[in-house]
Amino acid sequence: MPTQPDANTPKPKLPTVDQVSSGGVAYRRGEHGVEVALISVGPQRRWQLPKGIVDAGETPEATAIREVREEAGIHTELLRKIETITYWYVGDKGKQRVRFHKFVHFFLLRYTSGNIAEHDWEVNEARWVAIEEAINLLSFKTERQVVEKAKLLLKDAQP
């Protein structure tokens, strides 16, 4: 008869893997004020900022510009770093369960050209949203805080 594990025996710890992503608050100034590009992803249709994994040999700045182009369909100019957020999650790396320590660098990006409807296949929808509405629409608290900081930076940059 197999033995049951002792309730006091600690579970084996998952290996920890650092994961670095980068993205941006891409904005434009329209007739109704500042708008930011948001994307809807996944079956839950979560609204979030465009972001993705930093590829080998790529800088976080280059990744932010690339990910916004791919996920939101637009070209941007990098202005400055807003902040880096961190969080933990459990997922798969190959066939192994691991605990990811995620670092996401966010940058302030000014829209220069492109059509938001030309986003890539992994995005359900991309749209321009008034900055105040974006803060309310975003699914993650940390991303709402990033957009709040971007809003302050843009306010300070007003003539």
The range of the structural domain enclosing residue 45 comes to 16-156
Contacts of 14 (CB under 8 A, 6+ apart): 90, 97, 98, 99
Number of domains forming the structure of the chain: 1
Q: Per the domain annotation, does 146 fall within a domain?
A: yes
Q: Is residue 5 part of a domain?
A: no
pLDDT (0 to 100) of residue 104: 97
In a domain, 6, yes or no: no
Tens digits of residue pLDDT in 116-143: 999 999 999 999 999 999 999 999 999 9
Name the stretches of the chain with pLDDT < 50: 159
Residue 23 host element (H or E)? strand 16-30
SS3 of residue 115 by DSSP: coil
Q: What are phi and psi of 78, to 5 degrees?
A: -75, 130
- The pLDDT assigned to 156 comes to 74
CA distance 143 to 135: 8
- Residue 105's Cβ-count burial label (10 Å; 0-12, 13-18, 19+) is buried
Is-contact 127 46, C-beta < 8 A? no
Q: What pLDDT shows up at residue 152? A: 95
Q: Is 2 a member of any domain?
A: no
Per-residue pLDDT, 159: 47
Q: What is the CATH number of the domain that holds 38?
A: 3.90.79.10
Residue 4, domain member (yes or no): no
